[in-house]
């Protein structure tokens, strides 16, 4: 069966520090991968999606970036965190060729920027 992992589970970082959140998927090949952010009282906002290694599309301009160095690895990064980057970050995957189908979510990372 497929599983999706995210780490760390929680993170507290000072403003201006770098960020690296990692997501890995097991049990499937060549998935579509997604990064979402959930701010308090708001829905999930799609940040990035990827259809393959090295292929990243950004939905929202911001100081975050994403990379996909391996088929089942998706990394969210920042060079300098802002206070507004605080939130709950979710990684998700869906079956290749079915981008409008069900997405499967990881456990999330709660990021607090102080």
Partner 1 sequence: AQSVSQHNHHVILSEAASLELGCNYSYGGTVNLFWYVQYPGQHLQLLLKYFSGDPLVKGIKGFEAEFIKSKFSFNLRKPSVQWSDTAEYFCAVTLNTGGFKTIFGAGTRLFVKA
- What is the closest distance, in whole angstroms, from the C-beta atom of residue 63 to partner 1 in the complex? 22
* Residue 14 vs 40, nearer CB to partner 1: 40
DSSP string, 62-97: SSEEEEEEETTEEEEEESS--GGG-EEEEEEEE-TT
* Residue 40 vs 83, nearer CB to partner 1: 40
Fill in the per-residue mask, 21 to 60: x = in contact with partner 1 (CB under 8 A), - = not in contact: -----------x-x-x----xxxxxx--x-------x-x-
Closest C-alpha among 52, 57, 53, 4 to residue 28? 4
Are 103 and 94 in contact by the 8 Å Cβ rule? The answer is yes
The verdict on 90 binding partner 1 (CB under 8 A) reads yes
Separation CA 33–CA 71 (nearest Å): 9
Task: List interacting residues with partner 1 (CB under 8 A).
Answer: 4, 32, 34, 36, 41-46, 49, 57, 59, 90, 99-108
């Amino acid at each position: 069966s497929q599983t999706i992992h995210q780490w760390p589970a929680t993170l507290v970082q000072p403003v201006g520090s770098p960020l690296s959140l990692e997501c890995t998927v097991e049990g499937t090949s060549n998935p579509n991968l997604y990064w979402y952010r959930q701010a308090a009282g708001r829905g999930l906002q799609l940040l990035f999606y990827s259809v393959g290694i090295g292929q990243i599309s950004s939905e929202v301009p911001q100081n975050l970036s994403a990379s996909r160095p391996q088929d089942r690895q998706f990394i969210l990064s920042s060079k300098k965190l802002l206070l507004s980057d605080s939130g709950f970050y979710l990684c998700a995957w869906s079956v290749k060729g079915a981008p409008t189908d069900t997405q499967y979510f990881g456990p999330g990372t709660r990021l607090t920027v102080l």
